[in-house]
Structure 1
Amino acid sequence: MNLNSIKEEDLKDVFNELEDAFKTLNIDYYLIGAIARDVWYSQGGKTSRTSKDVDFAVLVGSEKEYQTIREYLKDNKGFNTTAQNGFVLITPSGINVDILPFGGIEIDASVKLDAVGMSSIRVNGFHEVYQAGTNAVTLKTGHHFKVATLPAIVLLKLIAFDDRPEKREKDPRDIANIIEHFFDLQSDLVYSEQNLDIFQVEEEEVNKMTMQDIASIVIGRELALIIAENNNLKTRIINMLEKHIALADKSLFIRNMAIETGKPIIEMTSWLTRMLNGLTHTPAGVPSE
């Protein structure tokens, strides 16, 4: 197997072992990261960057419960630890598996382990995605997993970039790529009843909007649903979007979006502006909180 180019269908054995471990230990989980994105892209007939990592978010109440998962995979499935990262295990075939804990384990949205190497991560948004940002999907491997939705992936990438912009330049590029393809990948959602008002404005205004403009609005609305119960997180995302919109060509985030798409800065700024509008404006006919 080419470990620099792992695809969903290559992971049957890995998923078998993880599914068995989570079931045995009664652990709830969902698939996130690049493989989650690839699931949605492949279902829509699109290709995307492949990944060499597999990422699962696991709901645990303590570090002891989290370490029980790791020990089970080591002792029963042949997984190995790495001194570089306390959240990563390596399968017998050499695939990196990130097992990222959330739930009762974090303090101030951070998880800190008693481990060598990387032992602290931020898990802002993980609980919100667990509650309102996953769908059950049957994968090409035959597994039936909860998978973070594309808007949920956008949310987690927005947060990750905001936490460590100097290390996360790929996140805005991934977000731009999701916006580019979202209309085709999620057409049922775009044309769903809750989004029909987007198409019911003046014909001249509709004709001015690209598919990406509409996708940005819908993604913003989905973000609002996912983080509806967390006002602090909603404020954080709003502030982040407003900051980058104001910075425009001075924003590292927007510049990376432009690099990914080959489109002008003004268009990338417009996408973020429409996403912000979707996040902050209640659609007509939908009661506000």
Structure 2
Amino acid sequence: MGSAAQSIDTIWVLVCTVLVLLMQAGFVCLETGLVRAKNSINVAIKNVLDFCVAGIGFWLVGFGLMFGASYAGLVGSSDFAFEVPAGGTVNTAWIMVFFFFQLAFCSTSTTIVSGAVAERMSFRGYVITAAILSMMIYPVFGHWAWGGIFEGEAAGWLERRGFVDFAGSTVVHSIGGWIALAAILVLGPRIGRFGYGGKRIEPHDMPLATLGMFLLWIGWFGFNGGSTLALNASVPNILVHTMLAAAAGGIAVTSVSWVRKGLPDVQSALNGILAGLVAITANCHIVTTSNAVLIGAGGGLVC
């Protein structure tokens, strides 16, 4: 019976991992649709390469820093570029499942930066940023918050103090967001876009961006649902809360833009849905259904 349950959990996490990886396609569609046509290929290849860089970098260094034996709750110190026997065993199978799932999270955090620096950052600079984020910054903070999740015992210093981020509102999305903020502060303002007489740069393909949003929304069910690391009774609640928070974020932002501009703004609606998803990701396992709606709407309004 135990073996059957373990097999079901393994299948569930693998399915959720593939859903999270689907978010990479969502990011490509969303970001290429929101930029000017002349820059769409550049943005697309950056999304492809940061995924490759995150994959290899997380295996070489990131996983060990994040989930290796803890050094004073600050950083992991083992399991770098780890190897498993050819063909695997029952004992190593779950390690690989866990690594695969966490790799998908790392790649998501890395890709978040690309949207903020779209059309602004050199290809070389972006690849270097992706490497630093996936191999150092994300894993170190991830160790602080989630370092003991695999062993089932708090290891990171934040984790030991009761810090809770169920599926990555802070660990994944905020880290990506803060790195994006640092990057655009270095790049500086785009002259002529903001302020008096500023002209908004119009997206070249809103239907493609909308498709990207839906791919991200679908992938988010794997993001939050898979964070249980088991197919248990909490999964249906988590999935429903994820769905409702996103919908509430979209409705809230659409309503505000409609009142302010006299018509609903598509780009604002897409961002509102994604903000609702980010807002519910940290707490979807412990809040009530009505609170999930309020949290999603609040995230959208802040956005």
Q: TM-score, normalised by structure 1?
A: 0.32
TM-score relative to the length of structure 2:
0.30
Greater length-normalized contact order (CA 8 Å, ≥ 6 residues apart): 2
Higher strand share: 1
Structure (1 or 2) with the greater helix fraction = 2
